[in-house]
Amino acid sequence: QSVLTQPPSASGTPGQRVTISCSGSNSNIGSNTVHWYQQLPGTAPKLLIYSNNQRPSGVPDRLSGSKSGTSASLAISGLQSEDEADYYCAVWDDSLNGRVFGGGTKLTVL
């Protein structure tokens, strides 16, 4: 059971907008910044969003992140087949004194 709760799956059709949620607590999301990672099948994870809502260079602006209280979310608009991947949220947890990842959300493009 992960400290951060993500839906196990999400789906959408090409062009649609999908949102992936990440729910935590005051000791993690409530007091630290959230990062999001994308893992394409058979590859290493890649940083997608850092510090709640910042995109590294090369990440398209149709991907965005937000945080409110003890929850965060990743939004992908203009869904494309190449977005089919696993997505993970991550944050430092002050109580555990360590990093925690969400359980991951498998995004399917129908």
Residues lying near other proteins in the complex (CB under 8 A): 2, 32-33, 35, 37, 39, 44-47, 50-51, 54, 56, 86, 88, 90, 92, 96-104
Q: Which is nearer to other proteins, 47 or 75 (CB)?
A: 47
In eight-state DSSP terms, residue 26 is T
**What residues are paired with 109 via a beta bridge?**
12
Buried b (16+ CB within 10 A) or exposed e, 2-33: ebbebeeebebeeeeebebbbbbbebbbeebb
14 and 80 Cβ atoms separated by less than 8 Å = yes
CB of 36 to other proteins, least distance (A): 9
CB of 2 to other proteins, least distance (A): 7
Q: Which is nearer to other proteins, 56 or 78 (CB)?
A: 56
Q: Which is nearer to other proteins, 13 or 98 (CB)?
A: 98
CB of 61 to other proteins, least distance (A): 18
